[in-house]
Amino acid sequence: MNVDIAPRPWTGRVDGETPEHARWHQLVRPYDPTRAVGKGCVLIGFASDEGVRRNKGRPGAVAGPDALRGALSSLALPEPLDLEDAGTIVVAGTDLESGQRRLGRAVAAALDAGRFPVVLGGGHEVAFGTYSGIAAARRRADLRLGILNLDAHFDLRADDAPSSGTPFRQIAEAELAAGTSYRYDVLGISQPSNTVALFETARRLGVHYLIDERCGVVDQPAVDEFVDTFLNDVDLVYLTLDLDVLPAAVAPGVSAPAGYGVPVETVQRVCDRVTASGKLVAADVAELAPVFDIDARTARTAARLIHRIVLGHRPVS
């Protein structure tokens, strides 16, 4: 993998060196492409603010990958896991497109090596890079891809320049050009954060969505039905988590804090359902801006969700 920052040593609390004391930092090792093909998880950082800047959001997500690693580091593991860190791709200056292409190549390499890539963003422009890697990987073939976005926004803007607000419009155009089959669903849409034009674009593109007001803890049956309908209609799943889907009190450290948001209990339930499906090929986490975080709330919540996804992941057959 061609990365800009090689994986650095992980550090954290040490209670012992035996399996019953294991924490993330004790098991993570640098990604080794020469190692036999395995089914473990590989973390890939994507340090980028450029997409958020272009989308007129508040920058800060460039520091997200390191903050996520730090929050994961001392989390205790109930069982041994195969964990690797491939380092970080950095978007230099305004050259977002080059960074997305390099991320795509890294994700494709991880998938072709039998790994489960989890990308640590970065703004939500990370999504087009992650998708590009899945589209180029051997296992995509002619299978129907499902993209489940946990997000307050559709990110379907038709801007001239790619940004954190355009990745799923770019994906729709790429899938149309390739003649491949895919489905894009969004859970947690905030009506006040999306114009009528964006809702109309979603309708025209056949996007299924569930608004945040219908994603509460009491709405679990409806959420389960939404996720199950999605899972039953696709062969492979790409899960993308924009942290601004969470309430601002839980996730203040994002580009656009939510005035309402989806409870973390619901987000975790959705992640559990997706990871248990045996269809999840890649995941990413976007929009953590540590400079705006309070007591590392956002980073800790994101790390807990990543921890849950990795622990629950079932390799795609």
Provide the pLDDT for residue 36. 67
Confidence band, pLDDT 50/70/90 cuts, at residue 35? confident
Provide the pLDDT for residue 219. 98
Provide the pLDDT for residue 189. 98
Provide the pLDDT for residue 33. 82
Question: Whose structure tokens read 């969470």?
Answer: 246
Provide the pLDDT for residue 1. 83
Provide the pLDDT for residue 115. 94
pLDDT at 93 over 80: yes
CATH code of the domain made up of 19-312:
3.40.800.10
pLDDT at 39 over 90: no
Q: According to the 3-state scheme, what is the secondary structure of the chain?
A: CCCCECCCCCCCCCCCCCHHHCEHHHHCEECCCCCCCCCCEEEEEEECCHHHHHCCCCCCHHHHHHHHHHHHHCCECCCCCCEEEEEEEECCCCCHHHHHHHHHHHHHHHHHCCCEEEEEECCCCHHHHHHHHHHHCCCCCCCCEEEEEECCCCCCCCCCCCCCCCHHHHHHHHHHHHCCCEEEEEEEECHHHCCHHHHHHHHHCCCEEEEHHHCCHHHHHHHHHHHHHHHHCCCEEEEEEEHHHCECCCCCCECCCECCCCCHHHHHHHHHHHHCCCCEEEEEEECECHHHCCCCHHHHHHHHHHHHHHHHCCCCC
- Numbered residues of the known binding site for Mn(2+): 124, 151, 153, 155, 242, 244
Summarize pLDDT for 148-192 with one digit per residue, the tens: 999 999 999 999 899 999 999 999 999 999 999 999 999 999 999
Once rounded to an integer, what is the mean pLDDT over residues 40-58? 96
Provide the pLDDT for residue 38. 64
Report percent pLDDT > 70 for the chain: 99
Q: Determine the Cα angle at 296 with ends 295 and 302, to 5°.
A: 145
Domain range list for the chain: 19-312
- Numbered residues of the known binding site: 124, 151, 153, 155, 242, 244
Once rounded to an integer, what is the mean pLDDT over residues 41-57? 97
Provide the pLDDT for residue 37. 61
Once rounded to an integer, what is the mean pLDDT over residues 293-306? 98
d(CA 3, CA 79): 29
Once rounded to an integer, what is the mean pLDDT over residues 201-224? 98
Confidence band, pLDDT 50/70/90 cuts, at residue 207? very high
Q: Which amino acid, one-letter code, is at 284?
A: D
d(CA 220, CA 249): 21
Once rounded to an integer, what is the mean pLDDT over residues 96-108? 98
Number of Cα atoms under 13 Å in the Cβ half of residue 273: 19
